[in-house]
Amino acid sequence: MEYRRLGRTGLEVSAVSLGTNSLGSRADKETSLAVVHQALDLGINLIDTADIYSGGRSEEIIGEALSGRRQEAVLATKAGFPVAGGPNRRGGSRQHLLRAVEDGLRRLRTDYIDLFQVHIYDPWTPVEETLRTLEDLMRQGKVRYVGTSNYAAWQLALALGESRLRGLPRFASIQVSYSLVDRTVEREMQPLCVHEGVSLLPYYPLAGGILTGKYGEGAVPQGSRAQKDPSFVRRLDPDRLALARALSEIAREAGASPAALSIAWLMRRPAVASVVVGATSPEQVELNLAALDVSAEDAVFAALDAESTPFRDGPPFASYSLD
């Protein structure tokens, strides 16, 4: 396994991490436990979850899976999306984040979170309030490092400026939608992260399975994300499917799977520390790690760059806000 520094910290994380939004939902409990154990056995140390994943079941299952193995994991979770109706159950306010961390610690069966991430920008809460809350959590030993997710570049720049101006905790990383069919991060976010020493943690690296080639000409295979979540079908547009076909051909000539080559391409991008890849079976964890063994020549990655260049200026594959 390859390990990389997270931002400007001394924390080392695996170049491929385990995304767990399917644990407890698309993957049942027994399978989910096996997925986490397989990831640890193969050297993945960054396990990423969130309070909203499977209604909290993802955190609960991870807590059980890490029993006796807590020290092997860099445990990351997130909060900020609505978790219930009524006031103070979403966003980056002190009220919500303090409660979210306590709830997360209970579900995860741990007394500290290695990387706590603000899941989404809150336009109604001052950034200083969010950062001071994170500072208190770090002083209490409940959180060791902080990051964010789904911020726009200007929102991340604002937070970094507040950290610098007021001596508050600094985001070490940001999770972003980033793949061959979503390169919008390269316009502003990636240059900012390179300049500021903030790590990118790409999610949706396989575009929900589109880049594995499983959807062919738009067909929906049994058991796929699109079959279990019909709203996903809208993402199967002709341009993305055409890119998937081109990727499959390039991967075939390079002697790699489309999925492994897609992840390997991301691992070479500036500021990327770890690629967050989900799995619904132990076997899929192992297949994802094939990216570490891809030894394609530079020309192969240049071909991928060329084929996917239009997706730098297209719409993002995923975009979220509290507005």
What is the set of active-site residues? 53
**Token code pair at residue 273:** 């520390």
Q: Which of 99, 169, 72, 87 is nearest to 128 (CA)?
A: 169
The full DSSP string for 65-127 is HTTTTGGG-EEEEEE-S--SSSTTSSSS-HHHHHHHHHHHHHHHT-S-EEEEEE-S--TTS-H
Residue with tokens 């991928």: 304
Q: Is 321 helix (H, G, I), strand (E, B) or coil?
A: coil
**Residues of 132-170 as b/e, b for ≥16 C-beta within 10 angstroms?**
bbbbbbbeeebbbbbbbbbbebebbbebbebbeeeebbb
Residues 6 or more apart in contact with residue 77 via CB below 8 angstroms: 48, 49, 50, 51, 59, 104, 108, 113, 115, 116, 117
